[in-house]
Amino acid sequence: MVSVVMSAYNSERFIGEAIQSILNQTWKDFELIILDDCSRDDTPKIISEYTKVDRRIKSFSNKVNLGGCLSLDRGMKAAKGKYIAVMDNDDWSYPDRLKKQVDFLEKHPGVGIVGGTMEIMDENGIISAKRQYHRNDTSIRKNIFRYSPFSHPLIMVRRSVLETVGYSNCEFAPADDYEMYFRIGTVSKFANLKDTILKYRVVSNSLTQRYPRKMILTSIKARNTYRKVAGYHMRLSDYVFNLLLRICAFILPSKIILKIFNFVRNIKVS
């Protein structure tokens, strides 16, 4: 029923916890696809040990380092499940995550992708905040030109929808997930669960932390690509917002840009 896809690179510190959180799911009908992207630490060894004890795990090793976008894309295309869930190699899913998302999609056939609420933790696992997302399709579309409507390691998407609109477009990396959401929204509805289903770990070497300017500019590129596409409407206030954001990306230091980026996407929603 479900394919959980995880891309891993130099993640020996946390990948064991991430894998175990999937193996501990109350929903048992899944495969866990793990792609090692040429890690230089003990990540491949840890993956191999888990593969020996659970037949639901399918591991692959990239011959060259592909980067997060291409590696995850390879995993999604190998998926066999009706639904594809994304899991980062340093996060932790609550035991009922898969069940809640499967149940929702089974009851709402018009929804092509569902996310949820997540807690934010540091590298030591200490929770500092909770991030909510707009839950219904109307609210998500209203705000989609301001910030991403989902956190990528929170999503579950219908494989049939991805086969229709296409998988990752790495020309938009590191905002390739954001661009994919826009495409999904052209053929189906959006939704987020109110339930907290994941602990999201903030690490210093993540793409968002290292390249906030690139993240903002590629996100704006995705918004401009779909501003005139049916099903979306960019308001005048959205134009102004993105113009100011672009100016900030060019004139402000990376640390300030990151604070602005986090402020925008951490706005509490009802």
- How many alpha carbons lie under 13 Å from residue 147 in its C-beta half-sphere? 17
Which fold is adopted by the domain 2-205?
Spore Coat Polysaccharide Biosynthesis Protein SpsA; Chain A (3.90.550)
Residue-range domain boundaries for the chain: 2-205
The average confidence (pLDDT) of the chain is 92
pLDDT of 46 strictly over 80? yes
- What are the tens digits of pLDDT across the range 69-102? 999 999 999 999 999 999 999 999 999 999 999 9
Average of pLDDT values for 105-114? 98
Q: Read off the tokens for 120.
A: 């934010």
Contact of 4 with 85, CB cutoff 8 Å: yes
Neighbours of 70 (CB within 10 A): 19
Report the predicted TM-score, pTM, of the whole model to 2 decimal places. 0.92
List CB contacts of 228: < 8 A, sequence separation 6 or more: 234
Question: Would the pLDDT of 266 be above 60?
Answer: no
Question: How many CB atoms are closer than 10 A to CB 46?
Answer: 21
The fraction of the chain above a pLDDT of 90, given in percent, is 83
